[in-house]
Amino acid sequence: MGTAERADRFYAEQVLDRLNPRMREFVTRQEMFFLATADRRGECDNTFRAGPPGFLHVLDDTTLTYPEYRGNGVHASLGNIAENPHVGVLMVDFLRDRIGLHVNGRADVVADEVMRRSHPALPVDPVPGRRALVWVVITVEEAYIHCAKHVPHLQRVPARGTGRSWGTDDVKRKGGDFFGAAADAAERGPFLPPPRADAASWRAEAERVLARAVRQDPGTDGGAAPTTGPRAGSDPGTERGSEAGATGFSGWFSRSARG
């Protein structure tokens, strides 16, 4: 695009390999961020995370962590991280500074009890839907500004009704079928769950994944380091297939069964 010199200047002046004090302060007051992940084939997912200010915790200048809840049970981000640890975090302050912060790095999934042994000051919420199942620990590799040029300046308005229902399992409060997808599902093709041998095999697989998370040690070298499990370049589908008697997962929906 003819912008190599501009790009080089940006990297030289704006891209850090850690969070400086102003970046850390920015993170601690954010109430939301966007998380980009990809599986081992490079198929991408982008999701939204929100919570009270500080729910994305700064452990040190190279380590961030946030809790994952039970949600809708899909756990797409956690599944991608298990196959490919590279993540991208985008925080945007729409309300005050009208600026953004990118953080790219490598993520590990750590069991709640393991995190709390290393970081006992982490908050505890007694509501089931807001109780952390696991924590995602991100080791920072790049941190850089998202410029203000096209960031809209938003304004807070008084909450309507009871406000936000953090962690609710009520379908209507979560948004229900807001986009009317249920009515269009028949046109999509039949839903095909991931191939599974039987319930017992997949329960054993889930227990194995959780056991691997328990074996993480987030207190080593400023971040989490797995003691076992797939990393970038490995093929967790093959690993799952050998243990659960399943073939590799090739998609959620069949588009060849219409008609």
pLDDT at 245: 41
Q: Give CA–CA dist 20/190, Å, rounded.
A: 49
pLDDT at 30: 94
pLDDT digits (tens, 9 = 90+) for 167-210: 566 666 666 666 676 777 777 777 676 666 677 777 787 788 78
- How, if at all, do strands 32-38 and 44-50 pair? antiparallel
pLDDT digits (tens, 9 = 90+) for 126-156: 776 678 889 999 999 999 999 888 888 888 8
pLDDT digits (tens, 9 = 90+) for 89-123: 999 999 888 899 999 999 999 999 999 999 999 98
Picking from 31-40, 132-141, 179-188, 232-241, which range would have the lowest pLDDT averaged per residue? 232-241
**Buried-state track 182-196, b at ≥16 Cβ within 10 A, e below 16:** eeeeeeeeeeeebbe
